[in-house]
Chain A
Amino acid sequence: GENVEQHPSTLSVQEGDSAVIKCTYSDSASNYFPWYKQELGKGPQLIIDIRSNVGEKKDQRIAVTLNKTAKHFSLHITETQPEDSAVYFCAASIRYGGATNKLIFGTGTLLAVQP
Chain B
Amino acid sequence: AQSVAQPEDQVNVAEGNPLTVKCTYSVSGNPYLFWYVQYPNRGLQFLLKYITGDNLVKGSYGFEAEFNKSQTSFHLKKPSALVSDSALYFCAVRATRTGANNLFFGTGTRLTVIP
Are A and B bound to each other?
A: no
List chain A positions with a Cβ less than 8 A from chain B: none
B interface residues (Cβ-Cβ under 8 A, vs A): none
